[in-house]
Amino acid sequence: MENVTPTIFTETKVRGCNPSFVVTSDGVVIIDTPQLPTKAVEMRKLAESHGPLRYLINTEHHVDHIFGNYYFKGGPTVVHHQGVYDNFMVVGPELDPFAYAKEALPTDDPEGEAIFPDREVYYADPNKAQIVFNGDLTLRVGDHTFELIHTPGHTPGQIAVYVPEERAVFTGDTIFSECQTWLMTSNVDQWLDALDRIGELDVDFIIPGHGPVTTTAYLATQRAVLMEWKTAVAVAVAKGWTREETVERVEFKDRYPVDIGQEYMMDYINSYNAGSLYDKLTA
Ligand SMILES: [Zn+2]
């Protein structure tokens, strides 16, 4: 894992989200967990070498941010926004998050097969929150402050974790840094508001959900990506294109690569982004 500041550790180079932790004077706070089992166990060991694990916060409910919670059982107190809690590993019409986590093993974590639970065992206790909140929440841990700020858009329960003492914010997938943005079922208008809220923070470091650590300068780029997508699909609707034509013709594959380990999903992401926007704009 790389240090962002002397007390902030993050992992940006492994398949999944950017799981991170912050070392305080009174223990360690985890922010998102590795999707790959072996990486989750390794991160827990590394974090524990810096002190007792106090809290585990998930920035969103997507599987690549929460599946690894399973490997932190019996450790830190888990904290979720209501929207994360309600959607935690819920099987949807398009995506079975448990199957998606399993699908990554042969290519990205063959050793993880041995510690990957059966579906029934997993769902009996996937390590959801003990503390569930609505709106914003502030945690004081040692000399550090963790401001959990509700920033819906990418997902309904999306939060940013602002740590003023480190001049840093963990945004989850409100920021896709230099990689393809997954719109999925997002609310793009709310997402733009979320970027405004993050822009009000006095920070030097943005730890994004995916891609390299960045700065507030990147907020304008993320805004442009969202507006470009929405405008292009709005134009398609105005021209009377069908859903199929829109999915076929509207794509932004040239902008950025897909984040590590998911290169094969380029077509899926672009089709899903165009299709979901089309459905919203024609609803
Ligand atoms: Zn996400």
Same-domain status, 192 and 64: yes
pLDDT band at 93 (very low <50, low <70, confident <90, very high): confident
Pairwise CA distance, residues 130 & 132, whole Å: 7
pLDDT for 92 beyond 90: no
Same-domain status, 20 and 64: yes
Same-domain status, 24 and 51: yes
- For residues 111-116, give the mean pLDDT: 97
Q: What three-state secondary structure class fits 24?
A: strand
Pairwise CA distance, residues 212 & 10, whole Å: 10
Cβ neighbours, 10 Å, residue 61: 23
pLDDT for 262 beyond 90: no
Kindly give the distance from the C-alpha atom of residue 183 to the centroid of ligand 1, in angstroms, as a whole number.
8
| ∠ Cα 19 24 26 (to 5°) | 125
Q: Which of 189, 209, 224 is the last residue of a domain?
A: 224
pLDDT band at 81 (very low <50, low <70, confident <90, very high): very high
Q: Which parts of the chain fold into alpha helices (H)?
A: 37-48, 63-66, 82-87, 97-103, 105-108, 119-124, 188-199, 218-238, 243-249, 266-281
Maximum distance among all Cα pairs of the chain, rounded to whole angstroms: 59
Q: Tokens 């899926």 appear where?
A: 268
Kindly give the distance from the C-alpha atom of residue 282 to the centroid of ligand 1, in angstroms, as a whole number.
24
Kindly give the distance from the C-alpha atom of residue 213 to the centroid of ligand 1, in angstroms, as a whole number.
16
CATH code of residue 29: 3.60.15.10
Kindly give the distance from the C-alpha atom of residue 240 to the centroid of ligand 1, in angstroms, as a whole number.
31
Pairwise CA distance, residues 157 & 48, whole Å: 28
- For residues 85-92, give the mean pLDDT: 95
Pairwise CA distance, residues 283 & 280, whole Å: 5
pLDDT of residue 184: 81
Kindly give the distance from the C-alpha atom of residue 60 to the centroid of ligand 1, in angstroms, as a whole number.
7
Same-domain status, 246 and 217: no
Q: Which of 206, 224, 242 is the last residue of a domain?
A: 224
Same-domain status, 238 and 158: no
Tens of pLDDT, residue by residue over 4-13, are 999 999 999 9
Q: What is the dihedral of CA 151, 152, 158, 159, to 10 degrees?
A: 10
- For residues 133-144, give the mean pLDDT: 98
Kindly give the distance from the C-alpha atom of residue 95 to the centroid of ligand 1, in angstroms, as a whole number.
13
pLDDT for 94 beyond 80: no
Same-domain status, 143 and 184: yes
Structurally, how many domains does the chain consist of?
Answer: 2
Q: How far is CA 162 from CA 55, 59, 101, 104, 144, in A?
A: 15, 11, 28, 30, 10
Kindly give the distance from the C-alpha atom of residue 113 to the centroid of ligand 1, in angstroms, as a whole number.
24
Kindly give the distance from the C-alpha atom of residue 143 to the centroid of ligand 1, in angstroms, as a whole number.
30
Kindly give the distance from the C-alpha atom of residue 172 to the centroid of ligand 1, in angstroms, as a whole number.
7
Kindly give the distance from the C-alpha atom of residue 63 to the centroid of ligand 1, in angstroms, as a whole number.
8
Tell me what percent of the residues of the chain surpass a pLDDT of 90: 95
Pairwise CA distance, residues 57 & 160, whole Å: 10
Kindly give the distance from the C-alpha atom of residue 32 to the centroid of ligand 1, in angstroms, as a whole number.
11
| ∠ Cα 99 105 106 (to 5°) | 115
Q: Which of 179, 207, 224 is the last residue of a domain?
A: 224
Kindly give the distance from the C-alpha atom of residue 62 to the centroid of ligand 1, in angstroms, as a whole number.
5
Cβ neighbours, 10 Å, residue 173: 24
Same-domain status, 138 and 265: no
Burial class (CB in 10 A: 0-12, 13-18, 19+), 104: buried
Kindly give the distance from the C-alpha atom of residue 210 to the centroid of ligand 1, in angstroms, as a whole number.
9
Q: How far is CA 75 from the centre of its chain?
A: 21
Kindly give the distance from the C-alpha atom of residue 177 to the centroid of ligand 1, in angstroms, as a whole number.
13
Q: How far is CA 177 from CA 143, 181, 219, 222, in A?
A: 29, 9, 9, 8
Same-domain status, 266 and 219: no
Tens of pLDDT, residue by residue over 192-251, are 999 999 999 999 999 999 999 999 999 999 999 999 999 999 999 999 999 999 999 999
Same-domain status, 219 and 232: no
Pairwise CA distance, residues 61 & 80, whole Å: 9
Kindly give the distance from the C-alpha atom of residue 239 to the centroid of ligand 1, in angstroms, as a whole number.
31
Domain extent, residue 163, equals: 2-224
Kindly give the distance from the C-alpha atom of residue 171 to the centroid of ligand 1, in angstroms, as a whole number.
10
Q: Please give the mean pLDDT across all residues of the chain.
A: 96
Kindly give the distance from the C-alpha atom of residue 98 to the centroid of ligand 1, in angstroms, as a whole number.
15
Same-domain status, 40 and 52: yes
Kindly give the distance from the C-alpha atom of residue 186 to the centroid of ligand 1, in angstroms, as a whole number.
9
Same-domain status, 87 and 156: yes
- For residues 53-82, give the mean pLDDT: 98
The answer to whether the predicted template modeling score (pTM) of the entire model surpasses 0.85 is yes
Nearest partner of 196 among 137, 156, 151, judged by Cα: 151
Same-domain status, 219 and 262: no
Kindly give the distance from the C-alpha atom of residue 25 to the centroid of ligand 1, in angstroms, as a whole number.
31
Kindly give the distance from the C-alpha atom of residue 67 to the centroid of ligand 1, in angstroms, as a whole number.
12
